[in-house]
Amino acid sequence: MNTADRTPADLLRSALASDAGRPLLTYYDDATGERVELSAATLANWVAKTSNLLQDELAAARGERLALLLPAHWQTAVWLLACAATGVVAEVDGDPADADLVVCGPDRIEEARACTGERVALALRPLGGRFPEAPAGFSDYALVAPGQGDTFAALDPPGPDDPALVVGGAALTGGELLARARADAAALDLGPGCRLMSTRGYGSWEGLSAGLFAPLAVGGSVVLCRNADRQAPEALAARRESERVTHFAD
Protein backbone atom coordinates (compact mmCIF):
# COMPACT_ATOMS: atom_id res chain seq x y z
CA MET A 1 0.00 0.00 0.00
CA ASN A 2 1.22 3.48 -0.88
CA THR A 3 0.07 5.77 1.92
CA ALA A 4 0.90 8.78 -0.28
CA ASP A 5 -2.08 8.03 -2.54
CA ARG A 6 -4.58 10.88 -2.18
CA THR A 7 -7.02 10.31 -5.06
CA PRO A 8 -8.43 7.22 -6.81
CA ALA A 9 -6.25 8.00 -9.83
CA ASP A 10 -3.18 7.55 -7.63
CA LEU A 11 -4.04 3.89 -7.07
CA LEU A 12 -3.25 2.96 -10.66
CA ARG A 13 -0.08 5.04 -10.68
CA SER A 14 1.11 3.21 -7.57
CA ALA A 15 0.33 -0.17 -9.13
CA LEU A 16 2.38 0.78 -12.18
CA ALA A 17 5.30 1.93 -10.08
CA SER A 18 5.23 -1.25 -8.02
CA ASP A 19 5.16 -3.81 -10.86
CA ALA A 20 3.78 -2.79 -14.25
CA GLY A 21 3.77 -6.34 -15.59
CA ARG A 22 1.84 -8.14 -12.88
CA PRO A 23 -1.80 -9.14 -13.45
CA LEU A 24 -3.92 -6.40 -11.88
CA LEU A 25 -7.43 -7.22 -13.12
CA THR A 26 -8.56 -10.62 -14.38
CA TYR A 27 -12.12 -10.78 -15.70
CA TYR A 28 -14.38 -13.80 -16.21
CA ASP A 29 -17.85 -13.88 -17.74
CA ASP A 30 -19.39 -17.25 -17.08
CA ALA A 31 -22.22 -16.59 -19.52
CA THR A 32 -19.85 -16.29 -22.48
CA GLY A 33 -16.73 -18.14 -21.33
CA GLU A 34 -14.68 -14.96 -21.69
CA ARG A 35 -11.46 -14.46 -19.71
CA VAL A 36 -9.41 -11.27 -19.96
CA GLU A 37 -6.24 -10.62 -17.99
CA LEU A 38 -4.94 -7.06 -17.73
CA SER A 39 -1.56 -6.21 -16.31
CA ALA A 40 -1.09 -2.88 -14.54
CA ALA A 41 0.50 -1.52 -17.72
CA THR A 42 -2.32 -2.74 -19.98
CA LEU A 43 -5.03 -1.44 -17.68
CA ALA A 44 -3.23 1.90 -17.45
CA ASN A 45 -3.07 2.09 -21.25
CA TRP A 46 -6.83 1.56 -21.55
CA VAL A 47 -7.43 4.14 -18.82
CA ALA A 48 -5.19 6.67 -20.58
CA LYS A 49 -7.01 6.18 -23.88
CA THR A 50 -10.39 6.50 -22.21
CA SER A 51 -9.29 9.56 -20.24
CA ASN A 52 -8.13 11.22 -23.45
CA LEU A 53 -11.46 10.34 -25.03
CA LEU A 54 -13.30 11.97 -22.14
CA GLN A 55 -11.17 15.08 -22.00
CA ASP A 56 -10.38 15.73 -25.67
CA GLU A 57 -13.11 14.13 -27.78
CA LEU A 58 -16.08 14.43 -25.42
CA ALA A 59 -14.91 17.71 -23.81
CA ALA A 60 -15.87 16.46 -20.35
CA ALA A 61 -14.60 18.66 -17.54
CA ARG A 62 -13.85 18.14 -13.87
CA GLY A 63 -17.06 18.02 -11.86
CA GLU A 64 -19.33 17.02 -14.75
CA ARG A 65 -21.60 14.04 -14.20
CA LEU A 66 -21.37 10.80 -16.16
CA ALA A 67 -24.20 8.28 -15.87
CA LEU A 68 -22.44 4.90 -15.87
CA LEU A 69 -24.89 2.23 -17.01
CA LEU A 70 -22.56 -0.76 -17.17
CA PRO A 71 -22.33 -4.13 -15.35
CA ALA A 72 -19.33 -5.50 -13.48
CA HIS A 73 -16.88 -5.76 -16.38
CA TRP A 74 -13.24 -4.97 -17.05
CA GLN A 75 -14.26 -2.07 -19.30
CA THR A 76 -16.38 -0.65 -16.49
CA ALA A 77 -13.29 -0.62 -14.29
CA VAL A 78 -11.51 1.29 -17.06
CA TRP A 79 -14.26 3.92 -17.13
CA LEU A 80 -14.27 4.28 -13.34
CA LEU A 81 -10.53 4.90 -13.31
CA ALA A 82 -10.72 7.23 -16.31
CA CYS A 83 -13.37 9.31 -14.56
CA ALA A 84 -11.08 9.43 -11.53
CA ALA A 85 -8.19 10.64 -13.70
CA THR A 86 -10.18 13.44 -15.36
CA GLY A 87 -12.27 14.50 -12.38
CA VAL A 88 -15.53 13.52 -14.06
CA VAL A 89 -17.98 12.22 -11.46
CA ALA A 90 -19.10 8.66 -12.20
CA GLU A 91 -22.72 8.12 -11.17
CA VAL A 92 -23.26 4.36 -11.11
CA ASP A 93 -26.73 3.63 -12.53
CA GLY A 94 -27.34 7.39 -12.57
CA ASP A 95 -30.27 9.01 -14.32
CA PRO A 96 -29.15 9.81 -17.88
CA ALA A 97 -31.62 12.70 -18.08
CA ASP A 98 -29.75 14.46 -15.26
CA ALA A 99 -26.24 13.66 -16.48
CA ASP A 100 -23.84 15.63 -18.68
CA LEU A 101 -22.94 12.46 -20.58
CA VAL A 102 -23.76 8.77 -20.48
CA VAL A 103 -21.87 5.51 -21.00
CA CYS A 104 -23.95 2.35 -21.39
CA GLY A 105 -23.95 -1.28 -22.38
CA PRO A 106 -26.02 -2.83 -25.19
CA ASP A 107 -28.99 -3.62 -22.94
CA ARG A 108 -29.45 -0.02 -21.74
CA ILE A 109 -29.36 1.89 -25.02
CA GLU A 110 -32.96 3.09 -24.88
CA GLU A 111 -32.61 4.22 -21.28
CA ALA A 112 -29.43 6.13 -22.16
CA ARG A 113 -31.17 8.11 -24.91
CA ALA A 114 -32.60 10.36 -22.18
CA CYS A 115 -29.18 12.04 -21.92
CA THR A 116 -28.97 15.22 -23.99
CA GLY A 117 -25.17 15.27 -23.85
CA GLU A 118 -22.55 12.96 -25.31
CA ARG A 119 -23.44 9.27 -25.43
CA VAL A 120 -21.03 6.36 -25.62
CA ALA A 121 -22.09 2.72 -25.99
CA LEU A 122 -20.08 -0.42 -25.30
CA ALA A 123 -20.91 -3.70 -27.01
CA LEU A 124 -19.26 -5.63 -24.12
CA ARG A 125 -18.27 -8.31 -26.60
CA PRO A 126 -15.25 -10.60 -26.04
CA LEU A 127 -11.90 -8.94 -26.64
CA GLY A 128 -13.53 -5.52 -26.55
CA GLY A 129 -15.27 -6.06 -29.88
CA ARG A 130 -17.40 -3.37 -31.50
CA PHE A 131 -21.06 -3.28 -32.44
CA PRO A 132 -21.89 -4.69 -35.89
CA GLU A 133 -23.50 -1.29 -36.35
CA ALA A 134 -23.19 1.52 -33.81
CA PRO A 135 -26.51 2.52 -32.19
CA ALA A 136 -27.89 5.74 -33.68
CA GLY A 137 -26.87 8.74 -31.59
CA PHE A 138 -24.02 6.94 -29.82
CA SER A 139 -20.27 6.68 -30.27
CA ASP A 140 -19.02 3.09 -30.32
CA TYR A 141 -16.35 2.88 -27.63
CA ALA A 142 -14.51 0.11 -29.47
CA LEU A 143 -14.10 2.42 -32.49
CA VAL A 144 -13.26 5.73 -30.80
CA ALA A 145 -11.05 4.63 -27.89
CA PRO A 146 -8.19 2.70 -29.58
CA GLY A 147 -7.01 5.74 -31.56
CA GLN A 148 -6.57 7.90 -28.46
CA GLY A 149 -3.18 8.65 -26.95
CA ASP A 150 -1.40 6.12 -24.76
CA THR A 151 -0.49 8.67 -22.10
CA PHE A 152 -2.73 11.14 -20.33
CA ALA A 153 -2.25 14.45 -18.57
CA ALA A 154 -5.28 16.07 -16.96
CA LEU A 155 -5.86 19.69 -17.89
CA ASP A 156 -7.59 20.28 -14.54
CA PRO A 157 -6.50 17.47 -12.19
CA PRO A 158 -8.94 16.49 -9.46
CA GLY A 159 -7.94 16.64 -5.81
CA PRO A 160 -9.00 14.55 -2.81
CA ASP A 161 -11.79 16.98 -1.91
CA ASP A 162 -13.40 16.90 -5.36
CA PRO A 163 -16.53 14.78 -5.98
CA ALA A 164 -15.52 11.44 -7.49
CA LEU A 165 -18.29 8.84 -7.31
CA VAL A 166 -21.99 8.47 -6.68
CA VAL A 167 -23.25 4.96 -5.92
CA GLY A 168 -26.31 3.74 -4.08
CA GLY A 169 -27.35 7.31 -3.40
CA ALA A 170 -24.07 8.13 -1.62
CA ALA A 171 -21.72 10.77 -3.02
CA LEU A 172 -18.01 10.37 -2.29
CA THR A 173 -15.05 12.66 -2.81
CA GLY A 174 -11.80 11.12 -3.98
CA GLY A 175 -10.41 11.21 -0.45
CA GLU A 176 -13.54 9.64 1.01
CA LEU A 177 -13.42 6.90 -1.62
CA LEU A 178 -9.85 6.04 -0.67
CA ALA A 179 -10.65 6.07 3.04
CA ARG A 180 -13.58 3.70 2.57
CA ALA A 181 -11.55 1.41 0.29
CA ARG A 182 -8.76 1.19 2.88
CA ALA A 183 -11.24 0.50 5.67
CA ASP A 184 -12.85 -2.26 3.60
CA ALA A 185 -9.44 -3.74 2.84
CA ALA A 186 -8.66 -3.85 6.55
CA ALA A 187 -12.02 -5.50 7.28
CA LEU A 188 -11.30 -8.15 4.64
CA ASP A 189 -7.72 -8.57 5.92
CA LEU A 190 -6.28 -7.57 2.55
CA GLY A 191 -2.64 -6.64 2.20
CA PRO A 192 0.09 -6.14 -0.41
CA GLY A 193 0.09 -8.92 -2.97
CA CYS A 194 -3.40 -10.13 -2.10
CA ARG A 195 -5.58 -11.47 -4.90
CA LEU A 196 -9.29 -10.95 -4.24
CA MET A 197 -11.88 -12.85 -6.24
CA SER A 198 -15.23 -11.05 -6.31
CA THR A 199 -18.57 -12.25 -7.66
CA ARG A 200 -20.34 -9.05 -6.59
CA GLY A 201 -21.91 -6.68 -9.08
CA TYR A 202 -20.81 -3.10 -9.57
CA GLY A 203 -24.18 -1.60 -8.63
CA SER A 204 -23.24 -1.02 -4.99
CA TRP A 205 -20.28 0.36 -3.07
CA GLU A 206 -19.63 -3.13 -1.68
CA GLY A 207 -19.28 -4.49 -5.20
CA LEU A 208 -17.10 -1.62 -6.43
CA SER A 209 -14.89 -1.86 -3.38
CA ALA A 210 -14.33 -5.61 -3.51
CA GLY A 211 -14.14 -5.71 -7.31
CA LEU A 212 -11.72 -2.81 -7.75
CA PHE A 213 -10.93 -0.17 -5.15
CA ALA A 214 -10.11 -2.10 -1.94
CA PRO A 215 -7.52 -4.46 -3.49
CA LEU A 216 -5.88 -1.60 -5.40
CA ALA A 217 -5.76 0.50 -2.23
CA VAL A 218 -3.44 -2.01 -0.57
CA GLY A 219 -1.35 -3.11 -3.54
CA GLY A 220 -3.39 -6.16 -4.42
CA SER A 221 -5.15 -7.44 -7.54
CA VAL A 222 -8.66 -8.49 -8.56
CA VAL A 223 -10.32 -11.52 -10.14
CA LEU A 224 -13.72 -10.16 -11.19
CA CYS A 225 -16.36 -12.79 -12.00
CA ARG A 226 -19.61 -11.91 -13.76
CA ASN A 227 -22.47 -14.42 -13.99
CA ALA A 228 -20.64 -16.67 -11.54
CA ASP A 229 -23.96 -18.21 -10.50
CA ARG A 230 -23.80 -20.19 -13.74
CA GLN A 231 -20.74 -22.07 -12.49
CA ALA A 232 -20.82 -25.07 -10.21
CA PRO A 233 -19.19 -24.52 -6.80
CA GLU A 234 -16.41 -26.94 -7.61
CA ALA A 235 -15.60 -25.01 -10.80
CA LEU A 236 -15.32 -21.76 -8.86
CA ALA A 237 -13.14 -23.52 -6.30
CA ALA A 238 -10.85 -24.70 -9.10
CA ARG A 239 -10.69 -21.15 -10.45
CA ARG A 240 -9.70 -19.82 -7.06
CA GLU A 241 -6.83 -22.29 -7.01
CA SER A 242 -5.68 -21.67 -10.59
CA GLU A 243 -5.81 -17.89 -10.14
CA ARG A 244 -3.98 -18.11 -6.80
CA VAL A 245 -6.79 -16.29 -5.07
CA THR A 246 -6.05 -15.33 -1.47
CA HIS A 247 -9.41 -13.78 -0.54
CA PHE A 248 -13.01 -14.13 -1.72
CA ALA A 249 -16.05 -11.80 -1.72
CA ASP A 250 -19.52 -12.92 -2.81
- Please check the confidence at residue 32 and state whether its pLDDT lies above 70: yes
- Reported confidence tier of residue 2, pLDDT bands at 50, 70, 90: low
- Reported confidence tier of residue 127, pLDDT bands at 50, 70, 90: confident
- Reported confidence tier of residue 4, pLDDT bands at 50, 70, 90: confident
- Please check the confidence at residue 77 and state whether its pLDDT lies above 60: yes
Segment holding 80, helix H or strand E = helix 74-86
Q: What is the pTM of this model?
A: 0.97
Domain parsing of the chain, residue ranges? 8-249
- Could you write out the DSSP letters of every residue in 142-209? HHHSTTS-SS---SS---TTSEEEEETTEEEEHHHHHHHHHHHHHHTT--TT-EEEE---SSSHHHHI
- Reported confidence tier of residue 131, pLDDT bands at 50, 70, 90: very high
Give the chain's mean pLDDT.
97
CATH class of the domain comprising 8-249: alpha beta
Burial (CB count within 10 angstroms: exposed 0-12, middle 13-18, buried 19+), residue 129: exposed
- Reported confidence tier of residue 172, pLDDT bands at 50, 70, 90: very high
- Reported confidence tier of residue 59, pLDDT bands at 50, 70, 90: very high
- Reported confidence tier of residue 1, pLDDT bands at 50, 70, 90: low
Average pLDDT over residues 111-126: 97
Average pLDDT over residues 8-29: 97
- Please check the confidence at residue 36 and state whether its pLDDT lies above 90: yes
Question: What confidence tens digit (pLDDT) does each residue in 139-157 have?
Answer: 999 999 999 999 999 999 9
- Please check the confidence at residue 52 and state whether its pLDDT lies above 70: yes
What is the distance between the alpha carbons of residues 35 and 33, in angstroms, rounded to a whole number? Answer: 7
